[in-house]
Amino acid sequence: MHRTARVFSSVGAVAFAIGLYLWFFGVQTVLALKARSLGRRTPFLKARLAALSDLSVSRTPGTILSYFGYRFEVPWDDVDEVKTRIVGGDTALIAFRSGNTLALGNGMPHDLVNAALVTYQMDREWFRRLYGDAALQSDYVFQRMMLESTPDQITPIMSKRRATSQTMLLLMKNLFSSQDPIASMFSVHASDLNGFEMVRQGTSPVKFSVELYSDTGLLNFLFIQDGSTAISQSDVNRVLQTLHQ
């Protein structure tokens, strides 16, 4: 009888310990396991922002362009004026006779934060508690938090709120790269703007996209190589280093 009692006592202690663990850390454990599973399926989620190492600038004959209050140079002198147009009032499609296109979008401040509030059905106060005042007030800060999120940041011993907030960032990062896989990402600067460059590699030639944030909104450059002229990092740098208001 004493042996049986000790067995039941041990089983009860183990069950109590497991129950206690699940009560305090069950949600975090499930989220951590899901994050690691997602990371194995999508290696990009493990990537972090890096400093741009290739700072070379194209010196080929170019063209000065002006859109949405900003001027910049492109390293090509074959702008196709007939096909170049403004779409929807906030996107310039700049066509080149080579077949390439530069798409320039002009966004509003807080577009990213507002989209997250709608998608995840959060009010602004709850968002602030999860990510802080700086992220609520700046799409750049929030975007950086999202891009810097990785599966290993979610652990069983963190708070439920922290595990939930990190998981949401990771899901947004996954969605960000789902349709057009990102090979690498960098922090970049242009004039008084800060932002990010994504090098996207799919079945077609490499695509460069750059998002630049200011207090008044967003400039989004998408370099689309559909023609005979290859687009390089030095070409992108020519645009960034000449950008000014």
pTM of the predicted model as reported, rounded to 2 decimal places: 0.84
Considering only CA atoms, which of 153, 160, 92, 104 is closest in space to residue 130? 160
Strand partners, 79: 96
pLDDT tens-digit map of 166-220: 988 998 888 877 766 787 899 999 988 999 999 876 656 668 999 999 888 899 9
121-137 pLDDT tens trace: 888 999 999 999 999 99
- Tokens for 73? 């140079």
- Please report the domains of the chain, with CATH numbers, ordered by start residue: 2-42+110-178 (no CATH), 51-108+180-242 (2.60.120)
Cα dihedral angle (177, 147, 31, 179), rounded to 10 degrees?
Answer: -10
Two tokens, residue 172: 């947004």
By the 8 A CB rule, do 74 and 102 touch? Answer: yes
Helix (H, G, I), strand (E, B) or coil at 183: strand
Cβ atoms 62, 236 nearer than 8 A: no
Question: How far apart are the C-alpha atoms of 65 and 30, rounded to whole Å?
Answer: 51
Q: Which amino acid is at 103?
A: A
